[in-house]
Each structure stands twice: as structure tokens, then as C-alpha cells.
Chains A and B, each alone.
Chain A
Amino acid sequence: MKKFNLVTLATKNIRRKKFRTGILVFSISLIVSVLVFGLSFIINVSSGIERASARLGADLIVVPVGARSYAEEVLLESKSKSFYMNKNIINRVKKIEGVDVITFHTYLTTIQGVCCDVPEATVVAFNQESDFIIMPWLEKAIGRKLEKNEAIVGHESFLNIGLGLMDAMLFGTRFKIMGALDKTGTGLDNAIFTSDENVEEILQKGRSQLKPDEISIIFVKVKEGYDPYIVGRIIEGDIIEADVVTRSDIGKDITGALGDINMIFSITVFMASILSVLLAWAIFSATVNERLREVGVMLALGAKESHVAKLFFIEVFFIGLMGSVCGVVFGTALSLLLAKSFTILKNLPGGLNAVDRAVIGAAGFVIGTGICILGAFSPVQRIKKLEPLAVIKGELA
């Protein structure tokens, strides 16, 4: 004979009412898939921002007044934006107490057919002597500095634009593309990098909006023991043409909006969960009422209250498990399929790693199974306490 225990008995019971079980599994899987999809979206965005800002390696970012959001769009969302401030700000920042090292970038936007032979992208002119943002990746990619009229492309540019081994015309100058950087996990993965030695020639050819002595952004590392927030406030106070973003504030607008979305999403999931609990309660109340006589017989044959409770909760657990597994699979598939449909996710670097997915899956599993157990709790508690003869006769209090 096959195995015979409470688990086999429970699985046989589940199979008895396929349609009813199906409805409950479906409703659990729906709520879990919404939860998994929503969590995936929110965690994906917030961890992407966190990861990108951490990988930049700067404590502070100094940008022209009013260009804070443009800078975030370039650094986090890979968007092409041009914003400029005077180069003399570099020296003024250097003099601020607490500033340790600085470097700067100049961002140029390509327009295919007008100045360049590549689609719209950001060209980053960086200072190879002082740079601590790009240089570590460059060292890894080609093991040396870029020469004049040489460029290297970001990981995503290499994949998306197809740049990598051919030459490219940028702002009227032909650049030799030396290869591609590894994935940095920042918005700069979509950029094309070249030394700031080339800026003068670009200016001379007049194919860019850039004016002489302009830069886009200054990255600052503060000395040990100094609070980046306070140093940033001093810079803003001393240099009125500049705005300062601390590392922890990068993407704050996005995460703020995300918080609101998160709240709406949480309320929706909470209300849907209550509905699912009520559905589970109604279904298990009906199931328990239908099986009153069976439970009475089991009690009369010597089943303990714990046997009855175990039997029902195993059924509940399996239904919750089936719903949760379906929900996690469906929600994950949905989040992967639709990931590129959301502008913010399309441009934001990174993505969910296995641990993130496991945590989200576990949350979906706990919620899905919890809904079932919560819904079944009251009907099961009611029946297990009844006198066997009363249950057999259906004389429920």
C-alpha cells in the first residue's frame, strides 16, 4: 500500500473539490503575484538608485544651480542631458574645508546626423589625472590612459548602440573606439568616454553647445572625519552658482515618489489580502460544514483535536503553498516581462539579484500561506472543539 498519513489524507481532501480549491489557489496566486510584482518594482528602483550612487564613489556632487535633477537623470537613469557651469568653480570647491579630492566631467549630447554618427548618447569628457569615477574601470578595460582622439564606450552603449571596435565621428572629430568598459552599475554605462584633452578640438569645430571653460559636474570626496552633508552646505553657501547633492540624497526625488507609490501599493495589497482572507474563511467554513459528519466520525474513532486541526491546516498549507508558488512565478515573470516597459526601470542600472528575488518570493509565500491559514483559523477552531456526537448529528452551536 502507498503511504497513508495525515498528509496523504489532506491531499486526497484537496483533490475532492477541485473547482473550489482552484478558485482559492487562483485568488491567492493573484494577490501574491501583485505583491511580488509591486515589491520587485519598488526594490528594483530603490536598490538601483542605491547601487548607482554608491558606485560613483563620490561623497558629494556639485552641479550648476537648478541642474540637480539633470545630473541624477544622467547618473542614475542614463538620460542624455547637457548642463554647464564655469570651470573656475573647481578651484573654489577645492578651497572649501573638508574637501579631499575632486574630479570633474563635461557632458556632451550627441545628435545623429548633425554632429555625430551615433544615436543620442552622452559623451563624457573626463580628466584622467584626477578622475576616480571612470579610471578604475578604464584601467581594467585597456590597462592604460586614453590617448587623444580615443574613446571607450560604456557597457550598455556597447550592447545597445553596437559601438565597440569601430571608429565613430563625434562632434566633427573621428574617435578611435578602444573597447568597452565593464558594467559599472551606474547611468554612465550608456555613455561614451573620452579624455578632456579633446574638448578644445570639439569647441573649435563648433559642433557642440559647450562654451570654453565650462564643465558639467564636480565629484567630491570629503576628508575623513568630515560630514559630507555639512561640507555640502558650506559649498552651497560659498558658491551660489552651484547646487550640491550628497550621496545619500541622490535619487531622493525618485525614492520620494516611490514612497508614495509604495504606500498606495501597500494599501491595495492590504485590502486585497483582507478580501482573500474573507474568501478563504468563506470557503473553509463551507468545507468544514460539509465535512462535519466526517470530522465527527474521526473524533469518534479516536482522533484528537490536534489531528483534526493538523489535517485541516495541512490542507490549508498546501492550498496556500500552491497559490503562493503560482503567484511568485507569475509575479516574477510579469516583473521581468514588464521591466523594460517602465521608463524608470529601463534607464536605471542594475536589477534584482538572486537574494532580492528570494526575499520577495519568501514574502509572497508568507503572505499567500498566511492568508489561507488566517482564513481557515476560525472554522477549524470551531469544529475541533465540538462534541463528536453533536458534530455527527450536525447539531452545531
Chain B
Amino acid sequence: MHIVLSDVTKSYFIGKDRFDAVRNVSLEIDSREFISIVGHSGSGKTTLLSIIGGIARPTSGTVLYEGKDIYSLDKDRLSEYRCEKTGFIFQFASLLPNLTSEENVLLPVLFKTGNRAIAAAEKKAAELLHMAGVGDKLNAYPSQLSGGQQRRVAIARAFINDPEVVLADEPTGDLDEATEAEIMRFFKRMNEEAGTTFIMVTHNSGLARDTGRQLKMDNGSISVVQGI
């Protein structure tokens, strides 16, 4: 697995004014890397993560995944990339309110294989929820969970399809320090044992230092690169 971003720009227009959320970013990400992206609010971290995750088409530039530009794929193939290759952890509460924790975790399986594989994935969903610390909340609806518990369910969901890349946008934002550490240990373990690549946006410089490579974004560009 190898991701290459070449001269990627994402622009928005507010009236006639153009605003570059991401500006001329070029970046190579190798398999099994653990990258953190830090920066002020509005510096373009979430947009860059979304571009890599296939959910925001860049205005210019290319995003190559295993040598293929993901934005040259047709819509269904791009959906398959999102479903099978990546696991996305959103910054906001992203659980579907009318589904239980277990069903929320199984949702990407439904999109990947239809309902045929649901029964087989149930055990895995339960394991992931247990690993995320909400194993006793299988049948709870989001409204019955705290913000932190909802975040844990969303984290479990990101791993259900065994993604090659996990894109995490402030994954521990709602969590206390102990849980944050626990989640980071889980990420590390997945990174080291399963070989999952992590790209994590965070405000927490302590967490960022604990990753293999730290990128700092400023005004849509990568200004500083630290680590290997």
C-alpha cells in the first residue's frame, strides 16, 4: 500500500472569492506508517484527510493509491475504495441515531457485501466494541450513550472491514486521558500487528509526538514535517 499526493489543491468559492482549504500539497505515505497532522482550526487538516479518504474531490492534483488515481475511478469503484481500503473516524458524532451500536459497526459490512455477510461479521463487531471498551453497549442506541462511548463505537466501526488505512479526525477528542491512552494503545497495536496505516488529525501535540511522522498544516499547506 502506497499513497502519493501530488500537488493537491482543494478550493472553495465564497461568492466570487476563492478560498484554498488545501494548497499544493504533495505527500507520500507508506504502508504501516502512523502519521499525525496538527495545525490550527481551519488550516486544512480535515479537508486533507477527506481528500485521502476519497470523500472530497480535489480541485487539482492527484491522489494515487497503489499507483492509481482514486479520483479517476468511477463512483462505484471510489465507494469501494472508501468501503474496503479505508476506515474513517469523524470528528463529530457520526453514528446513525436509529441503529444500535452493533448495527452502526456493521453498517460498512452491509455496504461492502450486502446482508449476506452480516451474520458472519457479528462476532467481529462484538469483539471490536469490546476492544473499544463498549462491549456491554451492543444493543444501545446512540441516544443512550455518552459522547465518549459514541466515539468508541465509531472507532470500532472504522476497523470492521479490515481497512488498510485508518483516517482519524480528532479520534480522542471527547475522551478522558485514560481512555485516550487506551485508544492510542489500540491504534498502535493495530498499526504494529495488523499493519494498518494511520493518518490522524489531532490538536494534542503529546499524541502527535507519539506517532511516526508529524505533519503541521498551516493555511492549507504542509509547513513542517517531523519524524522519519
Main secondary structure of the interface of B (DSSP, over half): helix
**Interface residue from A302, A387, A390 paired with B79 (Cβ < 8 Å):** A302
Query: A301-B88, A302-B84, A304-B111 are contacts. A4–B103 as well, Cβ < 8 Å?
Result: yes
Query: What residues of chain B have their CB less than 8 Å away from a CB belonging to chain A?
Result: 47, 50, 53, 55-57, 75-76, 79-80, 82-84, 88, 90, 92, 94, 96-99, 102-103, 106-108, 110-112, 114-115, 118-119, 122, 157, 161
Query: What residues of chain A have their CB less than 8 Å away from a CB belonging to chain B?
Result: 1, 3-6, 9, 12-13, 15-16, 293-294, 296-307, 387-390, 392
**Interface residue from B47, B97, B102, B111 paired with A298 (Cβ < 8 Å):** B111
Known: A5-B114, A5-B118. 9 other contacts (CB 8 A): A6-B110, A9-B98, A12-B98, A297-B90, A297-B94, A298-B107, A301-B111, A302-B82, A387-B55
Query: A301-B107, A302-B83 are contacts. A389–B98 as well, Cβ < 8 Å?
Result: no
Residue among B84, B92, B111, B119 facing the most chain A CB atoms (10 A cut-off): B111
B88 contact set on A, CB distance < 8 A: 300-301
Cross-chain contact A307 with B50 (CB below 8 angstroms)? no
B90 contact set on A, CB distance < 8 A: 297, 300, 392
B99 contact set on A, CB distance < 8 A: 9, 12
Closest-CB distance, B52 to chain A (whole angstroms): 12
Query: A4-B106, A6-B110 are contacts. A299–B55 as well, Cβ < 8 Å?
Result: yes
Cross-chain contact B55 with A4 (CB below 8 angstroms)? no
Closest-CB distance, A213 to chain B (whole angstroms): 84
Cross-chain contact B55 with A388 (CB below 8 angstroms)? yes
Cross-chain contact A302 with B112 (CB below 8 angstroms)? yes
Closest-CB distance, A394 to chain B (whole angstroms): 11
Query: A5-B118, A12-B98 are contacts. A389–B47 as well, Cβ < 8 Å?
Result: yes
Complex A-B: 5 CB contacts under 8 Å: A4-B118, A6-B115, A302-B112, A304-B75, A387-B56
Cross-chain contact A300 with B82 (CB below 8 angstroms)? yes
Closest-CB distance, B212 to chain A (whole angstroms): 25
Closest-CB distance, A294 to chain B (whole angstroms): 6
**Interface residue from B56, B103, B111, B122 paired with A307 (Cβ < 8 Å):** B111
What's the Cα separation between A389 and B21 when bound, in Å? 13
**Interface residue from B50, B92, B110, B112 paired with A4 (Cβ < 8 Å):** B110
B106 contact set on A, CB distance < 8 A: 4
| Nearest 7 Cβ contacts at the A-B interface | A302-B83, A5-B115, A389-B56, A388-B55, A12-B98, A304-B79, A302-B111
B107 contact set on A, CB distance < 8 A: 298, 301
What's the Cα separation between A390 and B57 when bound, in Å? 10
Cross-chain contact A1 with B110 (CB below 8 angstroms)? no
A3 contact set on B, CB distance < 8 A: 115
Q: How many residue pairs bridge A and B at CB < 8 Å?
A: 87
Cross-chain contact A299 with B110 (CB below 8 angstroms)? no
What's the Cα separation between A306 and B111 when bound, in Å? 10
B108 contact set on A, CB distance < 8 A: 301-302
Cross-chain contact B110 with A5 (CB below 8 angstroms)? yes
Closest-CB distance, B80 to chain A (whole angstroms): 7
What's the Cα separation between A304 and B118 when bound, in Å? 18
A392 contact set on B, CB distance < 8 A: 55, 90
Closest-CB distance, A295 to chain B (whole angstroms): 10
Closest-CB distance, A307 to chain B (whole angstroms): 6
What's the Cα separation between A304 and B75 when bound, in Å? 7
What's the Cα separation between A289 and B56 when bound, in Å? 20
Closest-CB distance, A225 to chain B (whole angstroms): 65
Closest-CB distance, A346 to chain B (whole angstroms): 51
Query: A1-B102, A4-B106, A307-B111 are contacts. A297–B75 as well, Cβ < 8 Å?
Result: no
A9 and chain B: residue at smallest CB distance:
B99
What's the Cα separation between A1 and B123 when bound, in Å? 10
Closest-CB distance, B78 to chain A (whole angstroms): 9
B161 contact set on A, CB distance < 8 A: 302
A303 contact set on B, CB distance < 8 A: 79, 83, 111
Closest-CB distance, A392 to chain B (whole angstroms): 8
What's the Cα separation between A3 and B107 when bound, in Å? 13
A307 contact set on B, CB distance < 8 A: 111
B157 contact set on A, CB distance < 8 A: 301
Closest-CB distance, B130 to chain A (whole angstroms): 15
What's the Cα separation between A57 and B18 when bound, in Å? 84
B112 contact set on A, CB distance < 8 A: 302
Cross-chain contact B53 with A300 (CB below 8 angstroms)? yes
Closest-CB distance, B125 to chain A (whole angstroms): 9
B110 contact set on A, CB distance < 8 A: 4-6, 9
What's the Cα separation between A107 and B202 when bound, in Å? 99
What's the Cα separation between A282 and B165 when bound, in Å? 40
Closest-CB distance, B93 to chain A (whole angstroms): 9
Closest-CB distance, A303 to chain B (whole angstroms): 5
B115 contact set on A, CB distance < 8 A: 3-6
A385 and chain B: residue at smallest CB distance:
B75
B102 contact set on A, CB distance < 8 A: 1
Closest-CB distance, A297 to chain B (whole angstroms): 5
Cross-chain contact B80 with A302 (CB below 8 angstroms)? yes
Closest-CB distance, A162 to chain B (whole angstroms): 62
B47 contact set on A, CB distance < 8 A: 389
Closest-CB distance, B11 to chain A (whole angstroms): 13
